[in-house]
Amino acid sequence: RHGEGRDMRRGVTPAAEQLELLTRSKPVVVPTVWAVGSDRDYSFLVMDYLSPRPLDAHNAFILGQQLARLHQWSDQPQFGLDFD
């Protein structure tokens, strides 16, 4: 079983990297990832808590604007990320 914890982190490390990338893009608020870890059969991220907001018409409009800006952030010619 030695080293299994390292294998478990492989599942959450890409998620942490993707959150970091979204943080650098600026248009969408993303929680800060403080740690990536694993314990026995579980892997986890420790990150900031962002309180949910109701998806009313105003918040839906703001989210739509943020997502549009997010998709204009990079000049990548294809959809998706170059890792994962």
Mean pLDDT of 22-41: 83
Geometric angle at alpha carbon 40, from 17 and 1, rounded to 5°: 105
pLDDT of residue 81: 62
Mean pLDDT of 53-76: 84
CA distance 14 to 11: 7
The distance from CA 48 to its chain's CA centroid, rounded to whole angstroms, is: 12
Mean pLDDT of 67-73: 78
Mean pLDDT of 18-46: 84
Alpha-carbon dihedral angle through residues 27, 31, 35, 40, given to the nearest 10 degrees: -120
Indicate the pTM of the whole model: 0.59
